[in-house]
Structure 1
Amino acid sequence: MPAVTVQSTLELPRVPMPDPETTPQRPVRSVTTAPQGFEGEGFPVRRAFAGVSMRDLDPFIHMDQMGEVEFAPGEAKGTAWHPHRGFETVTYMIDGRMEHQDSHGGGGVITDGGTQWMTAGSGILHIETPPEALVMSGGMFHGVQLWVNLPRANKWNPPRYQSIEGPQATLLSSPDGGALVRVIAGDVAGHQGPGSTFTPVTLIHATLSPGARLVLPWRPDFNALMYGLSGRGAVGPDLRPLDASQLAVFGPGGALTVTAAERPDSRTPEFDVLILGGRPIREPVAHFGPFVMNTKAEVMQAVEDFQNGRLGVAPADRLPHTTPGEELK
């Protein structure tokens, strides 16, 4: 994985080991396997949150693992122009490149450990599509898109766009150097990630060497989820097995534990996991397509506003997508 790496994790700040006497480890409440699906114009995804209670996910709404897939020339696909309202989209590119453009002036290329953090707020149009050169050449594509809910008080905030380049992530290591911890947003043991969020959340990509163990201090008022990106290992104090494309939901406590398998699978020698959590919003959720509001009436208003052009206008120099003539339908 070409997401940000270092030559020696021993040169990085260490995540201190939480005191087991005062900081109980969070038990694993469930492990689910993400089913396969397709998104946008047909690129393959894993629906990471399928079958998990919204109560366990709050403040998160939806997460897709995009790929990991090797596109042949002409195969790469993205999305058409489409609207959002009421939440934030977080696109983390592990491998490959994705172009973003929105009706509020945000845009750029997300690549190799970079993150796009887009606050849809009161409403926005955007597109995510592979660059033309990638479509022509083909190549590896692997990323994650996460939807973070906004509290009622922030759903009508003006749209905002953050581009977080891979090298901006805060890099830490486990005490023995066996794990590389990339903090994209939130705080880990006093080390702050670069992402700015309305809803308090922590987002981490960790890579563990074979047999390595990582124990992270975790805010007791946050929920806690861990998703296997590649490789295999175990999570929690009882070493519950976790493989690629599986999601672990943790119970209460002050620390998270993940251990990489001693004998990795044949495809990758390391165990890569996405670790995320946030302070639950505990408000009603009305979710329909690209709109996440508090009531059905608000969702219906969002649909009407989109149909009447009140969620923004795609710029004159808008990016094309791979199925011409279908945008904004």
Structure 2
Amino acid sequence: MKTKNIELIVAPQTPHFVGDGFRVHNFIPSVHGLDMKRMSPFIMMDYNSKYHFPPSEIPKGVGVHPHRGFETVTIAYKGKVAHHDSAGGGGIIGEGDVQWMTAASGVLHKEFHEAEFSKTGGEFQMVQLWVNLPAKDKMSSPKYQGITNEKISKFILPENAGIIEVIAGNYKETKGAASTFTPVHLQNTKLNKGGKASFSFPANFNTALLLIEGSIKVNDAELVPTDHFALFKNEGEEFSIEAMENATVLVLSGEPIDEPIFAHGPFVMNTREEIIQAIDDVNSGKFGYLED
């Protein structure tokens, strides 16, 4: 097996607000070198780095909006979010939980700070990923996977190095709880200071990591600090990380979907005509109804 080395390390970009409840740094697709085609099947990544929201009687968030053609994956590190969609999916995503919504043929949804969290305020830290769907599945039925931390499989690393929470795909023989349409690996790696972990993914899979907490050294060579994103080359299969201090690392790797991407706002399809159809379908009420 050949070593998979880092191609690019990216500092967090200037943050912006999505609605009034999510202060995010966008890595995919706004950073040069991290466009949708290069990062497929990961076509968007917003990172709400640790941010303190003051108490509010009215929950902050994002009101009703549509999606078609992909999946949204929200990973909560700090704070709580309430989700509702027009296909009947929904629930509270708390610290350590994951929400995996398949928009597919189309849903309306909304996301707000959970009511009690909103009233008390506090630290908020989340990642939202958009995972593309292949053309044959873009118009499949919407579904919702609410994955609490208790349901997430955990691999205990030897020598008190830490644990790996396997959200999707697998780590060694430990399989993730989420079902996916194409091969996707998504893992929260939580290392104690000095702890090490090794990973192996096919050379052609698009592979990256995001430093949620702490700092790490990759392949005994390159330092990646807090809130930074590291993209790996599509060469080699194996890499290792070592925690310079207690660290949480989101590791993602997926098989590219080799199809045209035509994206417009909340829709990601394969052609311009499909985007026009999506807009028509929203306007004609085919995405259902959801109260604002």
Q: Normalising TM by the smaller chain, what interval?
A: over 0.9
Checking the alignment, whether the CA contact within 8 Å between 1:90 and 1:117 is kept in structure 2 is: yes
Deviation digits for residues 39-63 of structure 1, max 9, x if unmatched? 1235311213231233331111001
Deviation digits for residues 145-195 of structure 1, max 9, x if unmatched? 110000000000010111111111111133323121100010111210100
Q: Which residue of 1 aligns with 2:37?
A: 55
Q: What amino acid sits opposite 2:258 in the alignment?
A: R
Checking the alignment, whether the CA contact within 8 Å between 2:220 and 2:240 is kept in structure 1 is: no
2:283 is the counterpart of 1:301: no
Distance 1:86 1:121, change over 3 A: same
1:81 to 52, 64, 75: 64
Q: Which residue of 2 aligns with 1:282?
A: 258
Normalised by the size of structure 2, how large is the TM-score? 0.93
Name the one with the larger strand percent: 2
Q: Which residue of 2 aligns with 1:313?
A: 289
Checking the alignment, whether the CA contact within 8 Å between 1:43 and 1:67 is kept in structure 2 is: no
1:40 to 4, 15, 19: 19
Identify unmatched segments of 5+ residues in structure 2: none
Aligned ranges for residues 265-276 of structure 1 at < 5 Å? 270-276=246-252
Aligned ranges for residues 155-194 of structure 1 at < 5 Å? 155-194=138-177
SS state at 2:145 partner: strand
Distance 1:39 1:150, change over 3 A: same
Distance across 2 between alignment mates of 1:164 and 1:272: 19
Aligned ranges for residues 75-154 of structure 1 at < 5 Å? 77-154=60-137
Checking the alignment, whether the CA contact within 8 Å between 1:60 and 1:148 is kept in structure 2 is: yes
- TM superposition shift of 1:76: 5.6
Percent of aligned pairs with the same amino acid: 37
SS state at 1:91 partner: strand
Bigger Rg, structure 1 or 2: 1
RMSD: 1.6
- TM superposition shift of 1:312: 1.5
- TM superposition shift of 1:238: 5.4
Distance across 1 between alignment mates of 2:223 and 2:66: 38
Q: What amino acid sits opposite 1:143 in the alignment?
A: M
Checking the alignment, whether the CA contact within 8 Å between 1:43 and 1:78 is kept in structure 2 is: yes
SS state at 1:303 partner: helix
SS state at 1:81 partner: strand
Q: What amino acid sits opposite 2:287 in the alignment?
A: L
Q: What amino acid sits opposite 1:25 in the alignment?
A: T
SS state at 1:80 partner: strand
Deviation digits for residues 270-290 of structure 1, max 9, x if unmatched? 111100011100111111111
Distance across 1 between alignment mates of 2:22 and 2:207: 28
Distance across 1 between alignment mates of 2:256 and 2:175: 20
Distance across 2 between alignment mates of 1:82 and 1:272: 31
SS state at 1:305 partner: helix
SS state at 2:75 partner: strand
SS state at 1:48 partner: strand
